[in-house]
Amino acid sequence: MKNYNPIWYKLTKLLKGKRMINTGLTIPYIFGAYKLLGHPFDNIPELLDELRKHPIDKYPIIQKCGTINQHVIAVEEKKIYHKDYLKDVKLRNSNNEIDLIVSSNTDLGKTEETVYKKLTQLYNEPIGVEKFSWNNKEQKWMPFEKEEEDLILSIKK
């Protein structure tokens, strides 16, 4: 496997390291970060397809973050992830390898089509008005603040 860490994973590691997030990044945050870095997506399915095309040494997992009550893309160690998570939905690539897990704590569906459709319904509106950052105190989506933009741009180095 290539030693390539995609943007979303670099950002996850950076923000976790700075203790700015506990679990993972929201779909709008990832969407906005890629746009800011000059790699925009046309829609959420395109973002998810890109994520799945560039595997890392962990499983990307969509789960509901209990802190912010939004769906995030987190990572799970492959050697720690137990196969007995029977209720988790495991999306597979053409080689029948797991390339995205949808946690049982979500209500996103059991197929790629339903997961993509539900995430689009949930997050298309904030993305459409470029509100990529969840403000948990105010319980609403907001545009990136300057500090967030600077952090995102810092991974370009």
d(CA 86, CA 82): 9
Residue 85 included in any domain: yes
* pLDDT above 80: residue 26: yes
Worst-scoring range by mean pLDDT, 27-31, 93-97, 126-130?
93-97
d(CA 96, CA 115): 18
Residue 82 included in any domain: yes
Residue 120 included in any domain: yes
**Mean of the pLDDT values across residues 23-34?**
97
Rg of the chain in Å (alpha carbons): 15
d(CA 133, CA 142): 5
Residue 99 included in any domain: yes
Q: What secondary structure does DSSP assign to 80-132, as a single string? A: TS-TT-TTSEEEE-TTS-EEEEE-TTS-S-SSHHHHHHHHHHHHHHHHHTT--
pTM: 0.92
**Number of folded domains that form the chain:** 1
* pLDDT above 70: residue 73: yes
**Mean of the pLDDT values across residues 60-74?**
94
pLDDT value of residue 55: 81
* pLDDT above 90: residue 62: yes
Residue 157 included in any domain: no
Give the structural domain span for 52.
Answer: 7-132+143-152
Percent residues over pLDDT 70 in the chain: 94
The torsion angles phi and psi of 7, rounded to 5 degrees, stand at: -50, -50
| Alpha helices per DSSP H over 37-72 | 44-53
